[in-house]
Structure 1
Amino acid sequence: MPDESQTPLNAASGLPVAPSLEPALAAVDAPPEYVPVDRRVVVISAIAVLVGIGAALLANVLTRLIGLITNVAYYGRVSTAFAAPSTVRLGAWSILIPLTGAFVVGIMARYGAAAIRGHGIPEVMERVLYARSRIAPRIMFLKPLSAAIAIGTGGPFGAEGPIIATGGALGSIVGQFVRMTADERKTLLAAGAAAGMAATFGSPVSAVLLAVELLLFEYRPRSVIPVALASAVATGVRAAFVGSAPVFSVPALTQPDLETLFAYTLIGALVGVASVGVTRFVYWVEDLYEELPIHWMWWPLVGALVVGVIGYFEPRTLGVGYTNIDAILSGNIVGRALLVLIVLKFLSWAIYLGSGTSGGTLAPLFTIGGGLGAALGSLGILIDPRLGIDAHVAALVGMAAIFAGASHALLASVVFAFETTRQPLGLLPLLAGCSAAYLVSLLMMRSSIMTEKLARRGARIRTEYAVDHLSHVLVRDASSRQVVSLRAADRLGDVRHWLASGAKGSSHQGFPVIDERGELCGVVTRRDLLDAARDDTTTIASLVRRGAVVVYEDNTLREAADHMVRAGVGRLPVVAREAPRVVVGIVSRSDLLSAHEDRLDAAHVPEESLPLAAPWSRRHSVMSRRRTRLRDRS
């Protein structure tokens, strides 16, 4: 029967020795060694490269399909060249073109797949979070086709959202045909999505960052490497089709001084406020559609009517609008024309997007943000020319800042603006402006334009990525050295009597079992010991049903927690690698929870590390005595 003398208090005190144990049990079951990458990552990377090539080809096909539909609908010609819609040829009849496209998209969504509705990225995020990254194969065909029809008939959307969704669908489908884990399938989905964005804008690095910030929800070598390779190869495929010139042209920029940098930061903050307003307005419009007494299939027709009317008076609001972004950044649209374009593009896009049609958000956001930035920059020049504000830089900051504020993808926004303009002197204003927009947006609204839809469905999406605290803490630093163990030869009746006595250590829920050599045999639980079907004459050794499941003292608590889940146990004996059957401690689930106390203290308990008073002052003496008392008490 266990007692104080038979229970080891530390590694040096030894372990109780039982006479014998028959038969000998299997070797210990310890956590596997951590490896950042293995051969499987090489296989997934190779598949991701193929997915990247496929996504780039799909992006090219979608772009040409949009061009074909635009040319047929607005110009009456058969051509796949990318063209901006124009109402000159058809006049007022051009209002019917968006209505026709909306009708077709509504039919496709109703009878094909309702998942094609929306701007793509939130839908992909939902599949990652709640469907183990599985996307139906028909989405890969219906999503780009519906988007091409909606955009080609004048829809004021970007092609990048549907392309990202299509690339993600391709990666998911490949991951469903090939036997792999859900994490590997998620990696392929993110690789396809990043490849789609990279193939659209020629922005491989920001595409990877966007995948990390919005789709992967992690930063690990085994996921980032395949995504980066897919993004790189997709950019190479794009260069083979359209060249490697930057997507947007901006005149040469100059290095801003401190005052100018402050002005760009303020512009970013104001655009951040606008990004919150844009997000709320879009979802307010969605709520209005919910009140309509008609089936959702017909909602796009309402939005398309607004698009057609606005487009008749301001044709530049129709279609993707990449030429508008380029004109804003280069300073070719200014003054009243700029303000009119911003307001009408925003209304056209928000009202049509809220109807649930198929289209992207990034290009419209870039148009609105770039226009706001250019307008604010021009206003700053009028107020104080000495600030040295460059309207081109202000437009670039506005374009990226509204992306950062609306999507909460800070790093992707900064790098994207650089990659699409190739202006390195714009990086400093971009970093300051986007950070300010990101801060303001988070203060005003928890959800982004990408996650608000999921939040309304009850999901809580936190886009904060930190290294798991348990992976920093070693088992030796969190385990208990007060190990209460049982001898293999003990009789069950004696142990039950000890449990009923309430003696020290008898309230534990699990006990290591030690043989006559002082080595671990396994672990028995309190339920095993109190099982009425067991006779009192039974030995403790006979209750051990599996080999010893242990954790090494130099493992992390994360490895220990994972091992508990795999083994289906609530506690693990702690052993040293050089003596894997000699118990030196025990770690339980409560120890895992207790380890988070340091993390919570570091996050929420203010502390004064250095004295703020002079060493000779009375306040310094009081603080020193207080610290001494606390140290002595601990």
Structure 2
Amino acid sequence: MRVNRQAVLGFLRLSPATRMLVLAAVVGLLGGFGALGFKKLILLLQGLFWATKDMTPETLYAVVWQRRLLMPVVGGLIVGPLIYFLAREARGPGVPEVMIAVITRNGIIRPIVVLVKAVASALCIASGGSVGREGPIVQIGAAIASTVGQTLRLGPVMLKTLVGCGAAAGIAATFNAPIAGTLFALELIVADFGLTSFTPILVSAVAATAVTRHYHGNITEFVLPVFSMKSHWEFGLYLALGIIAGGMAFVFSRSIYVARDLFDRSRIPAWVRPAGGGLLVGAMALAYPHVMGVGYDTMRVLLEGQLALGVMAALIVLKIVATSATVGSGGSGGVFAPSLFIGAMTGGAFGTIAHRWFPEVTASPAAYALVGMAAVNGACTQAPLSAIIVLFEMTGGYGIILPLMFAVVMATFVARKLCPESIYTEDLVRRGIEAHQGEDLNILRTISVRDVLRHDEAAIPQSAPFESLVRLALETRCNVIFTVDDGGRYTGAIAQQDIKYILNQPHEVILAHDITDCMAELAPVAL
């Protein structure tokens, strides 16, 4: 115990910047282990739901159709009550909830969110819900960081930065991508590229990545050959792909909230709705089980050139509907991976057509699929820099960085023209929170008049004699004394300078309300 006490005292004697770096490293390690544990939990639950941890389309095709139809429903029946009765913040992607906590609550997130979000999202994904794991991992990492900060009673600025560290750790550990995790947190969570935020967030992302690489090595999500542009004429094609990707991102983002509105207007109890969304996903999975789960296995099949054009086109539409049904009904899971999936199918279909028409000047359709992934993702989140770096670190390829940047920027431009809000900030706007107007305005909107109402102001009956008013003015430090009637209702206000004015003027003042009447008569003269 003595050693622990000395260690705590030593930690407290550190400078604020040093303490922040130490805490960032701790949060990064916790976030890294949290991400690994969350992935393990998904695999465990997949084994329970499907009797296999393999969620490839071929494996799911082999499952009897009744199971494909009903497993998402079963998952929804468990997830709905879990979220509704324990932590409603665990509904949906998770990233908007972290942004709201940073903007309106100085980074305070309830500790129970860690457990509920992990279990609910793992159940939703493992049972076949069409959502991703990145959003939940961001919220889990941020909740862990917030819990640490609240335990140590950090101030608002440090706590918000620490929450950003947790979010960065989640993305970094998920994709084995420290730079992408850092930029994601800076662009979307803390919205601050200053050195005081950048340094601890980078440290946290590196620590989380170190955990991932210790257990899984320096691997990327997709192992691919090196791609490169075949001709400069392809810039025109990538321009067209960027425009299409921006439109597709707009459709996907809008569909999420259209589905949520439809479910919210229904008479189905909120805790049952995720089962309804699961039923829709299960019905689509009878013909296309590709829409279930995160979707990375299907993306690998596409990047290996083994997916037909017709299947890609169908999966664009079906994935949008499936993810909208899962998230809109109140399921728990992210939209990051679905946006990559939709982008991959869009780019793959576009690249296949372009390669058929111009085989001499176009690269493999897989190259267009990769660019499409980043373009739709960047347009959805309206964080183009993060999207570019995520794809670069996920694939480890530098050959298509120029068309990648070109298409992502164009897609983001188109998406912003169609709608100024991202797939995350739209949720904030619907709750009356302006993500682009500064945190002071949003904090004021969360404060009611009751919260700032003072009960220590001086008041006096309007029939009180002038001498009592003067005595009260000398005793109190209040600048204003309020007059009330016999029922205690407000009738007027007398400022200290009003009393001084009356004392220096030859007015016949007998009662308190005479001053309010007198000042009302003199107001035009004073002006």
Calculate the TM-score normalised by the size of structure 2. Answer: 0.78
Letter in 2 for 1:278: F
Letter in 1 for 2:248: A
Aligned-pair CA distance for 1:328: 2.2
Gaps of 5+ in 2: 1-13, 440-494, 505-527
Counterpart Cα distance in 2 of 1:115 and 1:87: 34
- Structure 2 counterpart of 1:252: 226
Aligned-pair CA distance for 1:320: 1.3
CA contact (8 A) 1:102 1:300 kept: yes
2:285 to 285, 308, 311: 311
CA contact (8 A) 1:48 1:191 kept: yes
Counterpart Cα distance in 2 of 1:100 and 1:148: 13
**1:51 lines up with 2:27 in the alignment:** yes
1:133-157 CA-to-partner distances (Å, cap 9, x unmatched) read 1000100111011001111111111
Aligned-pair CA distance for 1:531: 9.6
Corresponding residue SS for 1:323 = helix
Counterpart Cα distance in 1 of 2:279 and 2:352: 34
1:275 to 238, 249, 257: 249
Corresponding residue SS for 2:433 = coil
1:213 to 183, 187, 191: 187
Counterpart Cα distance in 2 of 1:124 and 1:184: 15
Give the root-mean-square deviation of aligned CA atoms. Answer: 2.3
Letter in 1 for 2:210: G
- Structure 1 counterpart of 2:387: 413
- Structure 1 counterpart of 2:46: 70
Letter in 1 for 2:132: G
- Structure 2 counterpart of 1:222: 196
2:297 to 319, 323, 348: 323
CA contact (8 A) 1:152 1:319 kept: yes
Letter in 1 for 2:208: A
- Structure 2 counterpart of 1:333: 307
Letter in 1 for 2:25: V
Counterpart Cα distance in 1 of 2:45 and 2:319: 21
1:407-433 CA-to-partner distances (Å, cap 9, x unmatched) read 000100111110000111121111100
Counterpart Cα distance in 2 of 1:179 and 1:308: 46
Counterpart Cα distance in 1 of 2:423 and 2:234: 30
Counterpart Cα distance in 2 of 1:177 and 1:49: 16
Corresponding residue SS for 1:205 = helix
CA contact (8 A) 2:229 2:399 kept: yes
CA contact (8 A) 2:239 2:407 kept: yes
1:454-482 CA-to-partner distances (Å, cap 9, x unmatched) read 111222212999xxxxxxxxxxxxxxxxx
Corresponding residue SS for 2:218 = coil
Counterpart Cα distance in 2 of 1:348 and 1:340: 12
CA contact (8 A) 2:352 2:365 kept: yes
Counterpart Cα distance in 1 of 2:294 and 2:437: 28
- Structure 1 counterpart of 2:507: none
Corresponding residue SS for 1:258 = coil
Aligned-pair CA distance for 1:82: 6.1
Pairs within 5 Å for 1:313-462 = 313-462=287-436
CA contact (8 A) 2:32 2:170 kept: yes
When residues 99 and 52 of structure 1 are mapped into structure 2, their CA distance, relative to the original with a 3 A threshold, is: same
Pairs within 5 Å for 1:285-300 = 285-300=259-274
1:512-566 CA-to-partner distances (Å, cap 9, x unmatched) read xxxxxxxxxxxxxxx9999949x99xxxxxxxxxxxxxxxxxxxxxxxxxxxxxx
- Structure 2 counterpart of 1:468: none
Corresponding residue SS for 2:129 = coil
CA contact (8 A) 1:199 1:235 kept: yes
**1:123 lines up with 2:100 in the alignment:** no
Counterpart Cα distance in 1 of 2:182 and 2:228: 28
CA contact (8 A) 2:255 2:320 kept: no
Gaps of 5+ in 1: 1-37, 466-526, 537-634
CA contact (8 A) 1:401 1:438 kept: yes
Counterpart Cα distance in 1 of 2:355 and 2:33: 44
Corresponding residue SS for 2:220 = coil
Q: Which moved more, 1:330-339 or 1:117-126?
A: 330-339
1:198 to 165, 172, 175: 172
- Structure 1 counterpart of 2:73: 99
- Structure 2 counterpart of 1:42: 18
Aligned length: 434
Aligned-pair CA distance for 1:332: 2.5
Letter in 2 for 1:52: G
Letter in 1 for 2:16: R
**1:109 lines up with 2:91 in the alignment:** no
Counterpart Cα distance in 2 of 1:201 and 1:70: 21
Pairs within 5 Å for 1:181-192 = 181-192=155-166
Counterpart Cα distance in 1 of 2:437 and 2:396: 28
Answer 1 or 2: which has greater helix percent. 2
Q: Which moved more, 1:217-226 or 1:251-260?
A: 251-260
Pairs within 5 Å for 1:75-86 = 75=51, 83-84=55-56, 86=60
Aligned-pair CA distance for 1:307: 1.1
**1:243 lines up with 2:243 in the alignment:** no
CA contact (8 A) 1:74 1:90 kept: no
Counterpart Cα distance in 1 of 2:414 and 2:401: 20
CA contact (8 A) 1:66 1:82 kept: no
- Structure 2 counterpart of 1:142: 116
1:170-194 CA-to-partner distances (Å, cap 9, x unmatched) read 0111110112211110111111111
Counterpart Cα distance in 2 of 1:423 and 1:61: 28
Aligned-pair CA distance for 1:231: 0.3
Q: Which moved more, 1:43-52 or 1:249-258?
A: 249-258
Calculate the TM-score normalised by the size of structure 1. Answer: 0.66
Corresponding residue SS for 2:286 = helix
Structure 1 outlier segments of 4+, above 4 Å: 81-85, 527-531
1:261 to 218, 235, 239: 235
Counterpart Cα distance in 2 of 1:463 and 1:337: 43
1:172 to 128, 146, 152: 146
Aligned-pair CA distance for 1:92: 1.6
Q: Which structure: larger Rg?
A: 1
- Structure 2 counterpart of 1:494: none
Aligned-pair CA distance for 1:317: 1.6
Counterpart Cα distance in 2 of 1:254 and 1:358: 38
Aligned-pair CA distance for 1:39: 2.8
CA contact (8 A) 2:176 2:394 kept: yes
Counterpart Cα distance in 2 of 1:464 and 1:206: 25
CA contact (8 A) 2:130 2:323 kept: yes
Counterpart Cα distance in 2 of 1:312 and 1:103: 20
Counterpart Cα distance in 2 of 1:235 and 1:188: 17
1:9-38 CA-to-partner distances (Å, cap 9, x unmatched) read xxxxxxxxxxxxxxxxxxxxxxxxxxxxx9
Corresponding residue SS for 1:461 = coil
